Amino acid sequence: MERQGEGFRVILEIMDEREQNIDAIHERDLDKLLKQEGLLDAFQKGEIFCKFCKTKITRENIYSILPESGAFNFICQKSECVGNLLEHIDNKTL
Ligand SMILES: [Zn+2]
């Protein structure tokens, strides 16, 4: 098995406007989170898509998970999407 999930991050909470609480998460935690939220099945079937570019999210390209309004948004590693994510967080926390 290749080492995967390096650089993968999950945003656990949005704190105050300046502080982005971005915590690193291990691949094991990803499974736990997906299982906990009942998303593991959909993830394994390839039914999870990037919030911004709608690319299928895999273990290889996942960058972050953003909890929002009781749901989870997934973000891929494209620099464009990471940029969008940071902008999105900025907007939300204004
Ligand atoms: Zn994307």
Question: 36 CA to middle of ligand 1, Å?
Answer: 23
60 within domain boundaries: yes
Q: How many structural domains does the chain have?
A: 1
2 within domain boundaries: no
The string of pLDDT tens digits covering residues 81-92 is 999 988 888 887
Does residue 55 surpass a pLDDT of 90?
yes
1 within domain boundaries: no
23 within domain boundaries: yes
The string of pLDDT tens digits covering residues 1-10 is 444 444 455 5
Question: 9 CA to middle of ligand 1, Å?
Answer: 14
Percentage of the chain with pLDDT > 90?
35
pLDDT at 79: 93
Q: Looking at the whole model, is its pTM more than 0.75?
A: no
Question: 22 CA to middle of ligand 1, Å?
Answer: 18
CA angle 59-50-63, nearest 5°?
45
3 within domain boundaries: no
The string of pLDDT tens digits covering residues 58-80 is 988 998 888 888 888 999 999 99
43 within domain boundaries: yes
Strands (E), the chain: 9-14, 20-24, 62-68, 71-76
52 within domain boundaries: yes
State which residues form the domain around 85.
9-92
